[in-house]
């Protein structure tokens, strides 16, 4: 899937909707959000789309908010921001960036944490199905 | 500036703070709760307003940083 670029008609993220902690589930059913995920290979797998709670990583502080965040995955609002993030993570190694076109009515997506960071909740298989393009970070 | 803790295996954000001390406090909590191997899967970074990310420490080095910064050192003698 390296550098594959299938044609798609997904719309870019509508920033006007997004405020901190606001869910996008109320978006029109036809809306598709484009977000970017850092992965380790050029062939994305289900494992790349799992939360760390799914992977069995223990919480450091067991609060409802921590548990909720731990059950989502991290995404970024632009490939440039994802690239900057990957470059600041020496522990990732040779990173790739997957572009995901996420139907807003299928996944819960919120603006969380720092600039351009989003959290998405959903089944890892379904999220994997939304990958449309992969390139080197 | 924002200090972020990341889960290394999944590349997912664990927590974010506006100061280093709070981030390191969570690191120590993890060690106390889950054992000394807890930081094997944890990385600390700082991000500036332009989105530039700098790695501070991860793995055992992160555990040592947290202990050095937050735990009182024994008085010699």
Residue A39 is encoded by which pair of tokens?
Answer: 């992965």
pLDDT tens digits, one per residue of B14-72:
999 999 999 999 999 999 999 999 999 999 999 998 889 999 999 999 999 999 999 87
Count Cα neighbours of A30 within 13 Å in the Cβ-side half-sphere: 1
Residue A95 is encoded by which pair of tokens?
Answer: 């990173």
What is the DSSP-derived secondary structure letter of residue B11? T
The ipTM of this complex is 0.89
Rounded Cα–Cα distance for residues A68 and B66 (Å): 25
Contact indicator for A6, A132 with CB cutoff of 8 Å? yes
pLDDT tens digits, one per residue of A28-76:
556 899 999 999 999 999 999 999 999 999 999 999 999 999 999 999 9
Given phi > 0 = left and psi -120 to 50 = alpha, else beta, which region is A113?
left
pLDDT tens digits, one per residue of A34-44:
999 999 999 99
Query: Residue A2's pLDDT is what?
Result: 40
**Cβ pair A73:B12 closer than 8 A:** yes
**pTM listed for this prediction:** 0.84
Q: Does A55 touch chain B (CB under 8 A)?
A: yes
pLDDT tens digits, one per residue of A76-110:
999 999 999 999 999 999 999 999 999 989 999 99
Q: Does B10 touch chain A (CB under 8 A)?
A: yes
């Amino acid at each position: 899937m390296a550098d594959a670029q299938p044609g798609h008609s997904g719309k870019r993220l509508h920033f006007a909707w997004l405020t901190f902690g606001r869910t996008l589930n109320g978006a029109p059913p036809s809306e598709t959000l484009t977000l970017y995920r850092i992965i380790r290979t050029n062939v994305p797998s289900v494992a790349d789309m799992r939360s760390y709670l799914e992977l069995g990583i223990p919480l450091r502080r067991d609060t409802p908010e921590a548990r909720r965040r731990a059950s989502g995955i991290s995404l970024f609002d632009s490939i440039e921001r994802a690239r900057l993030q990957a470059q600041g993570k020496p522990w990732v190694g040779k990173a790739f960036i997957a572009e995901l076109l996420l139907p807003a009515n299928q996944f819960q997506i919120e603006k969380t944490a720092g600039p351009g960071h989003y959290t998405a909740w959903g089944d890892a298989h379904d999220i994997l199905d939304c990958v449309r393009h992969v390139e080197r970070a | 500036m924002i200090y972020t803790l990341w889960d290394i295996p999944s590349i997912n954000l664990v927590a974010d703070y506006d100061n280093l001390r709070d981030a390191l406090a969570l690191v120590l909590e993890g060690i106390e709760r889950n054992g000394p191997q807890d930081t094997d899967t944890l990385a600390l970074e700082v991000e500036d307003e332009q989105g530039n990310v700098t790695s501070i420490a991860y793995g055992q080095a992160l555990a040592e940083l947290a202990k050095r910064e937050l735990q009182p050192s024994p008085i010699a003698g």
